[in-house]
Amino acid sequence: MTVRNTYAYENGAHSVYGFRTGRFDFGINTTFIIYRIGETLIDAGPSNQWSTIKRVLKPLDIKTLLITHHHEDHSGNANRIAKLKNLTPYAPLLGRKKLAKGYPTPLLQKLIWGSPQKVETEILPNQLLINADTPSQTKVLAIPTPGHAKDLTCLYLPEQKYLFSGDMYISKSIKYLRSDENLAQLINSLEKLIALDFEILFCPHRGIVEEGKQALQEKRQNLLNLCSESQKLMAQGLTEEDIVIKILGPEDGLAKISKFNISKGNLIRQAMTYKHRD
């Protein structure tokens, strides 16, 4: 396998570079971008892409690996990178146990990403200085953003107005939810990020989004619209299944192949009962 695409956000010593790998190219959800700023990597990429990732990383001076959450596309090679670069990755407290002990993943995800390797990590602190004593030195704030995963933590660089968003963005509108995702938490977390002073969003699936805040605002609005529309139809007496079909169209192959782990119904079910915290 080869690198599918490369990315660069040029900003002197604080430029960010990325490369995309993936076994299948069925769109952005089956490929993954590892980003680098100076000597720091954000996420480790899927384990079945290790030969490509190793080739790219080998000549680079990498001192720090920050993991946004335990999902295998983000953490799969953390153990191998730790060995290759003689470092201990940082991971959110809530994900460290899973990362250390391993966890099962559904067959579909195994096909796309491979199985994650177990890895020992250090707790990602709330605030961290990366690339210390180099021109790329900068402050990183860890922002807990549960919803997609309990441990999902975005990495905010206030001086550069960068946000490494883990899986908080991916797309302006979503049609599916995993059965373990929490829509109310997701919307809260989007609001938490929107309140930050950032501009450039680095999404490991979508790519570099220069109008990053606007993108998150649109995602939030689209989700709120989906909730109010679902609730309006519910009030008219429509069933969950009717509402799914009316708003998102019938369930498709993804629901079947994932045994309804990833489905439109998961999203509509939570949208029907969503209450904004205000």
Scanning 4-12, 77-85, 162-170, 262-270 for contacts with Zn ion by CB under 5 A, the matching segment is 162-170
Closest to Zn ion by CB, 71 or 264: 71
Distance of CA 227 to the CA centre of its chain: 22
What's the one-letter identity of residue 29? N
* CA 119 to centroid of chain Cα atoms: 19
Q: Residue 178: name the closest of 254, 74, 231, 91 by CA.
A: 254
Site of tokens 């369930």: 251
Of 122 and 180, CB closest to Zn ion: 180
Binding-site member from 39, 43, 167, 181 for Zn ion (CB under 5 A)? 167
Does residue 58 contact residue 155 with C-beta atoms inside 8 Å? no
- By CB under 5 A, name the one of 14, 36, 70, 71 that touches Zn ion: 71
User: Which residues in 239-278 contact Zn ion (CB under 5 A)?
Assistant: none
Question: Among all residues, whose Cβ is closest to Zn ion?
Answer: 71
User: Do the Cβ atoms of 229 and 77 come closer than 8 Å?
Assistant: no
For residues 147 and 265, which CB has a smaller minimum distance to Zn ion in the complex? 147
Relative to beta strand 162-164, strand 200-203 is parallel
Q: Which is nearer to Zn ion, 39 or 167 (CB)?
A: 167
User: Quick check: 181 binds Zn ion (CB under 5 A)?
Assistant: no
Least distance in Å: CB of 71 to Zn ion?
3
Piece in contact with Zn ion (CB under 5 A), picked from 63-71, 113-121, 175-183, 203-211: 63-71
Identity of the residue numbered 244: V
* Separation of alpha carbons 46 and 192, rounded Å: 28
Residues that bind Zn ion (CB under 5 A): 71, 167
